[in-house]
Structure 1
Amino acid sequence: MKSLMRLFRSEPNIAEPLYAEVVAKARSPHWYVAGRVPDTMEGRFSVLATLLALTDLRLETGGDEARKASVGLAEAFVHDMDSQLRQDGVGDPVMGKRVGSLVGALGGRLGAWRKATGGEESWEAVAGRSLYRENIPSDESLAHSVDELKRYWHALQGRSDEALIGGVLP
């Protein structure tokens, strides 16, 4: 009976506090005011996916618990997107396709930010695609967003795995 109970009990996601903090960072008004990212569902998704990609890249360089949290961060994202889409009235027949598309968008950003953080592509070019889909409102807004993303990235580098997993973000 105990083994049957374990089958239906889910382990808590260690990345939930981290995911909640990344969501809070993505809601910061400066992205939409000074950065002029469109304050729409798509614009908010772009900021969230961008911050998640940078956070995940940092987790990939950490120890075993950080890499485990990387998986948990992706799971929290999928769960959140599923919930959001259901609230918006998306039904089961198309849910998998819609969530898969959002996960693909996150994966694309991960690859792009890997290039930017590795020096293979400019932060400006990647931010232009990641946040604005190349419809950059002004040089000033792009500069603001790039500065904030660099600040976030460098601060992530200074966080211990334990602090990061616990949701202590810059």
Structure 2
Amino acid sequence: MFSAIRKLFTPDPEPREARRPLWNAVVATARAPHWYVDGQVPDTLDGRFDMISLVLALVLHRIDEAPDQALAGVELTELFVVDMDGQMRQIGFGDMVVGKQIGRMVGALGGRLGAYRAADGSEELKAALVRNLWRGKDAPAAGLAHVIAEVAKLRAGLAAIPVETLVVADRLPG
């Protein structure tokens, strides 16, 4: 009897929480040291945001290939927003600033989603990586080559996973 009453007053879990393991995998992949050491991506707040956006964009592109999994992409994007909101508050941004910054971050993610659709090895992808990861400054040749190779490797790994498996994954290939 008490379990029925408890169930009645216990809120349902957020549906997006089903994507939490995948979100954690996106962040872990984006924080892998090779991006910052071998890839020479700046290990700064901006650099980390840019790497999370890159990995998230690649995962969302793969999810987009299965229209029946569109909700999973929405839920993953919601987790991005929730996480970025929490990170900004943790480093001291106030309520008045967080909303504007989150809007900018979502806009930046949208731009990257478009830019990172470019084919592996293309000049468009190379330009997008330089523009976003190095903020338009000269990218170190070896670092850029590493990032380009790792993006191709991650895309290939994602392509090898059925989307239905990816949306419940707790780690990414690579």
TM-score for the superposition, normalised by structure 2 = 0.86
CA distance in 2, matches of 1:169, 1:118: 18
* Equivalent in 125, 141, 144 of residue 143 of structure 2: 141
Which residue among 8, 15, 26 is the counterpart of 2:30?
26
Report which of the two structures shows the higher radius of gyration computed on alpha carbons.
2
Residue of structure 2 equivalent to 1:89: 92
How far apart are residue 121 of structure 1 and its match?
5.2
Q: The residue matched to 1:154 in structure 2 has which SS?
A: helix
Aligned-pair Cα RMSD in Å = 2.2
Percent identity at matched positions? 45
Q: Is the 8 A contact 1:26 1:47 kept in 2?
A: yes
Matched, 1:36 2:36: no
Pick one of 51, 73, 78 that aligns with 1:75: 78
Instruction: State the Cα distance separating 1:123 from its structure 2 match.
Output: 2.4
d(CA) in 1 for partners of 2:74 and 2:162? Answer: 18
The CA distance in 1 between the partners of 2:25 and 2:47, in whole Å, is 18
TM-score (ref. length: structure 1): 0.88
Residues 137 and 118 of structure 1: CA distance in aligned 2, closer, same or farther (over 3 Å): closer
Q: Is 1:21–1:169's contact at 8 Å kept on the other side of the alignment?
A: yes
Matches within 5 A, 1:106-125: 106-114=109-117, 116-117=118-119, 122-125=124-127
Cα distance, 1:166–1:153 mapped onto 2, change above 3 Å: same
1:16 corresponding residue in structure 2: 20
Deviations along 1:73-128, one digit per CA (max 9) or x if unpaired, are 110000000100110111111211011111111111001112x1399853212211
Partner of 1:60: 64
Distance in 2 between the 1:11 and 1:70 partners? 15
Gaps of 5+ in 2: 1-7
Any gaps of 5 or more consecutive residues in structure 1?
Answer: none
- Quote the Cα distance in structure 1 between the aligned partners of 2:15 and 2:126: 37
Give the structure 2 partner of residue 129 of structure 1: 131
1:9 Cα offset (Å): 3.9
Q: Give the Cα separation in 2 of the matches to 1:16 and 1:117.
A: 29
Q: How many residue pairs get matched? A: 165
Q: What SS does the corresponding residue of 2:139 show, helix, strand or coil?
A: coil
